[in-house]
């Protein structure tokens, strides 16, 4: 359970990783982009406000942002602003460097692959492929399922179920690494085990919680 030294699983075959907050911290770039949008709309958007956007799609994030600013816009206006935000975000991530990979993330993904497990990325981001290419991590994932591949966002399990299907692995033979409550809920709904990356207080529904992948060892995944 939470904070145990290892997590026991039946016939584990695949590891599915979220991107933001697990492999790399691009949340800061999302925050900076949303902050610029909020300033243009004449209200402030704080880091505390930004916590509400973790694991949430772009349009849902915009709705939350507008509710904070008490602003109502038409759907066409929302789509224009969402595009502006994405353009800002892409400007930021085009300058992302491999040294921004979170501690231990690359090493852990490499270790699970060496152990024979398949790997997938399961992210709400529509820019995940750009980020992986910039970080030289693209070859470490057998399958990439992101915001371009799904209709429903977390906590809906679609992203993880599609990842399992693309890997040709049953959901109960997969484990998910997630930093957001919505992602953990999605993993559970998919019938998968989930390791939370972050705080045990926030991620209490996870089967196990560590502060980062640098605290994980492939041997922590005990196969029955």
Instruction: Enumerate the active-site residues.
Output: 18, 20
Q: CA-to-CA distance for 127 and 6, rounded, in angstroms?
A: 33
Coil vs helix vs strand at 130: helix
**Residue (of 134, 108, 137, 86) closest to 216 by Cα position:** 108
The H-or-E segment that residue 77 falls in is helix 75-93
- CA triplet 170, 173, 176: central angle to 5 degrees? 110
What span, in angstroms and rounded, lies between the C-alpha atoms of 203 and 23?
Answer: 17
| Nearest alpha-carbon partner for 145 in 156, 130, 161 | 161
Give dist(CA 163, CA 184) in Å, integer: 15
Please state, in angstroms and as integers, the Cα–Cα distance from residue 32 to each residue in 36, 69, 96, 212, 219, following that order: 6, 16, 14, 23, 38
C-alpha triplet 177, 126, 142: angle, nearest 5°: 50
């Amino acid at each position: 359970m939470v904070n145990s030294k290892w997590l026991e699983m039946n016939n584990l075959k695949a590891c599915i990783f979220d991107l933001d907050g697990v492999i790399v911290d691009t949340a800061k770039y999302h925050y900076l982009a949303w902050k610029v949008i909020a300033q243009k709309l004449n209200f402030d958007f704080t880091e505390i406000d930004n916590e509400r956007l973790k694991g949430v799609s772009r349009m849902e994030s915009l709705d939350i942002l507008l509710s904070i600013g008490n602003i109502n816009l038409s759907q066409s206006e929302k789509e224009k602003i969402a595009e502006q935000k994405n353009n800002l975000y892409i400007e930021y991530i085009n300058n992302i460097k491999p040294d921004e990979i979170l501690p231990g993330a690359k090493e852990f993904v490499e270790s699970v692959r060496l152990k024979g497990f398949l790997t997938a990325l399961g992210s709400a981001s529509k820019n995940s492929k750009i980020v992986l290419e910039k970080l030289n991590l693209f070859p470490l994932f057998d399958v990439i399922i992101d915001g371009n591949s799904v209709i429903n966002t977390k906590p809906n399990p679609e992203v993880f179920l599609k990842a399992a299907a693309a890997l040709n692995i049953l959901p109960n033979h997969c484990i998910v690494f997630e930093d957001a409550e919505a992602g953990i809920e999605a993993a559970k709904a998919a019938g998968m085990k989930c390791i939370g990356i972050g705080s045990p207080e926030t991620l209490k529904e996870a089967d196990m919680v560590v502060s980062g992948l640098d605290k994980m060892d492939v041997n922590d995944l005990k196969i029955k």
